[in-house]
Structure 1
Amino acid sequence: MNATESSDATITGHLLDRLHSLGVTHLFGVAGDYNLRMLDEVLAHPGVQWVGTAGELGAAYAADGYARVRGFAALVTTHGVGELSAINGVAGSYAEHVPLLHIAVGPPRSKERDGAVAHHTLGDGDYEHFARAFRQVVCADAVVRPEDGPDEIDRVITTCLRESRPGYLRLPQDVALANAPSPSGALHRPDRHAADQYSLTAFVDAATRRIEAADTVSVLADCLVDRFDGRAALSDLLSAGSLPHAVVVSGKGVVDESAPHYVGLYAGACSDGAVRSAIDDADLLIRAGVRLADTTSGGFTHGYDPDRGISVDPTTASVDGVVFPNVGLPAALAALARLVEGRPTSAASTTTAPHLRHRSSSGDNPLSQAYLWQAVGAAVRPDHTVIADQGTPLFGISPRRLPTGARFLAQPVWGSIGYSLPALLGAQLADHSRRGLLLVGDGAAQLTIQELGTLGRLRLTPVIVLVNNDGYTVERALHSPEAAYNDIAPWRWPDLPAALGVPEPLVLTARTEAELDHSLTTAAEVTDRLIFIEARTERDDTPLLLSRFAEIAKRQARKVQ
């Protein structure tokens, strides 16, 4: 039994103990009248700290950032109005394979039985409307009752861990405080390294023949390697065979980008030539946890055949389209590492990603997107957690090589702008040894800027680089650059940190190359305060990767008209 568990624990107590056993020490959410008494138990719990956010969407995004660092997270909302505010964030976690638990506390069972018209409901006596909505964006859900509450909680959490996706609990107010039956034992955790031995042997035989017949072997990696505990096995594979390798943007950070055979970011036809050649022209491409998405493949302009080569997925592996079931991702990667060990290094594998050095500023030159991302990329340190929002920040920073040890978070598949600032909150609380480096555009920041106050209240000291380019630059690059729907209100950004309650923020504005270099140098030196850098660029200036992507997207749009 966990040190915090008690044989006479309540349902809430059991839930908190289970979360704590998974390393969850912070619980995100917004207080509401239905969950207040439950939150009293949260405040009394010795191992879990309550983190109230400015809004439920921010809580969901914060939980997502926390889970990407800690491995699991949870948020609490009130029924109806609260949970629906959070559903966008939970859906993003589902799309991006991030395991977390959403707990929605609602009216007591007596009102359910009576079909009462309770507040925060649709007024029709049906208390299941929102649970049904959540079933579209979670891998498991339950309505918790006292008689089987602990078992149902454990079932949902275990499914979240196994599938690396969110779960949902609908918890009536009175059930949250009811006594729970004694827990049935330790929480079962999935064994990612398990594999059906017959299937694994067949996969190894097929992979051996494929590898022996290939003159060149390359590896492409994505985020599922991280979500399904395959980082170490992937690192062993890359080292064993000295294999040229790349990542798609959703997988940025899953490999050491300072390694000698890292060739860079792969984005289909948007890729640099050397990267595209290494991936598309390889005799054998090993795909580690890769999901093809329009935003990660240059609008599906990848040049390799997805039905050829070796593909390693969370629970299956395949060779030239032949699927071998019940082979976990780490087990498959470990087997491949043994097969490529000692393989002669080909000429192609000597290609590496160029170190894009940051040139010195030219005084009062206006700040450009190109210079901005060169400078920011050079400022990333091994102890940084970089969080990039969808838009020019993600397109600008993703081609830059990260130093060994730096962590990277983004949401390129779901792509909900505004995700990054609350995710920074979660990532910072999940690992206090790292400093957050947030890269966000002005349009995205206007959606969730209120959580800046939460960062300040908790005395967190990240570096925030806000790109002020007067609106939705990505949308302008894609379609109708002068359209009014891409305009936003011009905010006085330097005034916001103090207005939102950040204590003694250091606010800097960079309009020139020299001002940006000074701001980044100052941010590295001052670590005891939140740093807010407003980086001003022209509204139509775009990073090179975005320019390439926009051209492809516009050509494809014309074809379907």
Structure 2
Amino acid sequence: MTVAQYILHCLKKHGCHHIFGVPGTSCAGIYFAVDNDPDMKYLVTVNELEAGYIADGYGRFAPMSAVAVSYGVGNLSMINAIASAYTEKVPMIVLNGGPTENEQADQYNYGILFSHSTGKRNADLEIYKNVTVAAELLTDLSTAQELISGLFKNAAETPGPVYLEVANNFWDKEIAITEEEPAKEEAKTNEDVLKAFFERVSDAKEPVILLGSEICRRGLEKHALAVIEKLRIPFCTTLLSKSVIDEGHELFIGTYDSDLVNKPPRRYVEASDCFIALGCIFGIDHGSLVKTQYKTMVDVSYGKARIASGEFEGVALKGFLEGIISHQQAQLLSAGRNEALETQKLLRKPADKPTHDGVFESINKFLSDKGDQMMMVADTCLSSYPASDLHMPSTKMFLANPVWLSIGQGTPASIGAHLATGKRPIIVSGDGGFQMIAQTFSTMVKYKIPSIIAVIDNGLYGIEQFLLDKKFYTDPSTPSIGFNTLNRWKYENFPEVFGGGKGFRVNDTDKFYETLELAFAYKDGPVIIAIEINPKDIPTEYVKKIESLAI
């Protein structure tokens, strides 16, 4: 078996059957191997950043993802997407074809730079160490199996991206393969952690559970649901775990997207006398919550547990949840907690012209009508908060980038999510974010990805405007900040430019829902809908935030 063949073997073993990227001479070996493997496919993208984002989206719904680009120019173009996967803990392997031993010797001895070299030794490796959970060079074929299998194990168990650099003349080298031992089961959580948990929860009058990304990454939705129902504790999800459990459940109280806006889930969670975070990653939007609850909260996430002031290492979330489910005290705690809370409802005011609120009212109805056929993708923009209020009619149908917060990530990530789930993406993106990755439309046309892209066309980096000058949205005479203004594009003409798909422009609310229906009927590639929005319009959640700051 060659190096490239063994890497493909490991990918399939970990549930990954696609490689994304832009092939170059240094990484061509892995692509040639895919050509000869009927169980693997590659998807070649327009640029490397797009490839990284697609792999990021794929890894959020599949057990593993893979991306392969050229040394230097490809890797450095892609690094923002890998940082997203690292921050939000997405399992992925970054495959890179590095210089040969002779190329490195020529650079060291004669100052001759090999292709795409900065002149610094192991430059790509050193850079990627900062955005991966492990990074390795394959320099010894005799230890290739151990090194490669170890990286895959790191990516799956941490979880997160790993980096493997293979000398570009090593891809087709034969390596010896020995039978591998099956993976060991996670260790059970010790009794000290369970004891501390039940002591903390036993006196609570208003406990609440917040489910995070680790529930998704490790496939623990059934375990989490069993704990919720065993203890009869209401629960929220973060944006990273939205739709991991049926949002029609009687104990679901909404998505806690941010403590920057005053919505019912926030009020309930912050007022809780026992806040239980399971598998959560906390970013800037959760700063107030964590600071308020830090000394008394329960936080069990990614191998660690903190229960009030007690800290525990090596705590597997799966074992912790199983321990609660089987513990006899769990049944006693559920007594008296049989009142179901009302599910969060999306309440929006009707509007004649498109507004952010009106757009999401239409999308909410559209998702309800189409059921589990759809995947909702909320790019980082002014629409991030209203997207959290959408009701997901099924599970595993929501994607966002709420911790890394990279505008533009959602559109390419939707391709990976579609390939991993089979669900059709509907993406809401600001025009600023979409303009950063607009060529993704070409990839969607090439591979007939049936995405529906709704672009909020207001000619503005709206989220930046809100963060830097909120007065713009309350005072009609206040102009936008000059550097936040965008060039206006005719998005509806994209199909003509890129040779496929459909394009629409809408400027009234009723027309938008009708256009979504037309978009859904077209299944031979992507559809882009430009929604003309007044630059001064802002979602209701932000208006409430501005009003609270003025008090």
- Do they superpose with TM above 0.5? yes
The answer as to 2:461 corresponding to 1:472 is yes
Q: Distance in 2 between matches of 1:252 and 1:120?
A: 41
SS at match of 1:259: coil
SS at match of 2:247: coil
AA aligned opposite 1:344: A
Q: Which residue of 2 aligns with 1:379?
A: 366
- 1:162 pairs, out of 157, 168, 174, with 157
The answer as to 2:91 corresponding to 1:96 is no
Q: Which residue of 2 aligns with 1:256?
A: 246
Q: Which residue of 2 aligns with 1:344?
A: 335
Q: Which residue of 1 aligns with 2:515?
A: 519
AA aligned opposite 1:280: E
AA aligned opposite 2:458: N
The answer as to 2:172 corresponding to 1:177 is yes
Q: Distance in 2 between matches of 1:292 and 1:551?
A: 26
Q: Which residue of 2 aligns with 1:46?
A: 38
1:375-414 map, 5 Å: 375-380=362-367, 381-414=371-404
The answer as to 2:298 corresponding to 1:306 is no
- Residues 140, 549 of structure 1: CA spacing in aligned structure 2 closer, same or farther, 3 A cutoff? farther
The answer as to 2:212 corresponding to 1:222 is yes
The answer as to 2:456 corresponding to 1:461 is no
- Residues 178, 491 of structure 1: CA spacing in aligned structure 2 closer, same or farther, 3 A cutoff? same
Q: Distance in 2 between matches of 1:550 and 1:383?
A: 37
- Residues 190, 370 of structure 1: CA spacing in aligned structure 2 closer, same or farther, 3 A cutoff? farther
AA aligned opposite 2:316: G
AA aligned opposite 1:477: F
More displaced, 441-450 or 379-388? Answer: 379-388
Q: Deviations over 1:117-149 (max 9, x none)?
A: 212002x3x440121011011111111122222
- Residues 78, 269 of structure 1: CA spacing in aligned structure 2 closer, same or farther, 3 A cutoff? closer
- 2:353 pairs, out of 360, 363, 366, with 366
Q: Distance in 1 between matches of 2:252 and 2:446?
A: 40
- Residues 38, 327 of structure 1: CA spacing in aligned structure 2 closer, same or farther, 3 A cutoff? closer
Q: CA deviation at 1:75?
A: 0.6
RMSD: 2.3
Q: CA deviation at 1:312?
A: 1.6
Q: CA deviation at 1:307?
A: 2.2
Q: Which residue of 1 aligns with 2:476?
A: none
- Residues 275, 36 of structure 1: CA spacing in aligned structure 2 closer, same or farther, 3 A cutoff? closer
- 2:262·2:544 contact (CA, 8 Å) conserved in 1? no
AA aligned opposite 1:473: G
- Residues 70, 134 of structure 1: CA spacing in aligned structure 2 closer, same or farther, 3 A cutoff? same
1:52-201 map, 5 Å: 52-115=44-107, 116-122=112-118, 124=119, 126-145=120-139, 146-185=141-180, 189=183, 191=185, 193-196=186-189, 200-201=190-191
Q: Distance in 1 between matches of 2:175 and 2:157?
A: 25
Q: Deviations over 1:199-256 (max 9, x none)?
A: x211222222233222232111221222233222111111222221112333322332
Q: Distance in 2 between matches of 1:551 and 1:153?
A: 54
SS at match of 1:175: coil
Q: Deviations over 1:146-192 (max 9, x none)?
A: 22222111111111111111100111111112111224425x5464x
What is the total number of aligned residue pairs between the two structures?
530
1:223-372 map, 5 Å: 223-267=213-257, 269-272=259-262, 274-295=264-285, 297=286, 299-300=287-288, 304-337=292-325, 338=327, 339-341=329-331, 343-346=334-337, 350-356=340-346, 365-372=352-359
Q: Which residue of 1 aligns with 2:414?
A: 424
Q: Distance in 2 between matches of 1:40 and 1:294?
A: 43
More displaced, 542-551 or 61-70? Answer: 542-551
SS at match of 2:293: coil
Q: Which residue of 1 aligns with 2:436?
A: 447
- Residues 535, 268 of structure 1: CA spacing in aligned structure 2 closer, same or farther, 3 A cutoff? closer
- 1:318·1:324 contact (CA, 8 Å) conserved in 2? yes
AA aligned opposite 1:374: E
AA aligned opposite 2:169: D
- Residues 543, 318 of structure 1: CA spacing in aligned structure 2 closer, same or farther, 3 A cutoff? same
Q: Distance in 1 between matches of 2:348 and 2:373?
A: 20
Structure 1: gaps of 5 or more residues:
1-8, 556-561
- 2:495 pairs, out of 497, 508, 527, with 497
Q: Distance in 1 between matches of 2:505 and 2:40?
A: 38
Q: CA deviation at 1:529?
A: 4.5
Q: Distance in 2 between matches of 1:52 and 1:549?
A: 43
Structure 2: gaps of 5 or more residues:
473-479
AA aligned opposite 1:96: E
Q: CA deviation at 1:469?
A: 1.4
More displaced, 40-49 or 81-90? Answer: 40-49
Q: Distance in 2 between matches of 1:273 and 1:107?
A: 53
Identity of aligned residues (%): 21
Q: CA deviation at 1:344?
A: 2.5
- Residues 114, 528 of structure 1: CA spacing in aligned structure 2 closer, same or farther, 3 A cutoff? closer
Q: Distance in 1 between matches of 2:147 and 2:526?
A: 42
Q: CA deviation at 1:36?
A: 2.6
Q: CA deviation at 1:406?
A: 4.8
TM score, norm. by length of structure 2: 0.90
SS at match of 1:326: strand
Q: CA deviation at 1:542?
A: 1.4
- 1:293·1:300 contact (CA, 8 Å) conserved in 2? no
Q: Distance in 2 between matches of 1:379 and 1:150?
A: 49
- Residues 517, 491 of structure 1: CA spacing in aligned structure 2 closer, same or farther, 3 A cutoff? same
AA aligned opposite 1:495: N
Q: Distance in 1 between matches of 2:169 and 2:504?
A: 50
Q: Deviations over 1:469-488 (max 9, x none)?
A: 11201111111452221011
- Residues 357, 546 of structure 1: CA spacing in aligned structure 2 closer, same or farther, 3 A cutoff? closer
- 2:194 pairs, out of 201, 204, 225, with 204
- 1:77·1:104 contact (CA, 8 Å) conserved in 2? yes
Q: Which residue of 2 aligns with 1:29?
A: 21
- Residues 38, 240 of structure 1: CA spacing in aligned structure 2 closer, same or farther, 3 A cutoff? closer
Q: Which residue of 2 aligns with 1:558?
A: none
Q: Distance in 2 between matches of 1:484 and 1:190?
A: 57
Q: Which residue of 1 aligns with 2:475?
A: none
Q: Distance in 2 between matches of 1:267 and 1:22?
A: 31
SS at match of 2:295: coil
- Residues 285, 305 of structure 1: CA spacing in aligned structure 2 closer, same or farther, 3 A cutoff? same
Q: Which residue of 1 aligns with 2:477?
A: none
SS at match of 1:409: strand
Q: CA deviation at 1:462?
A: 2.0
SS at match of 2:528: strand
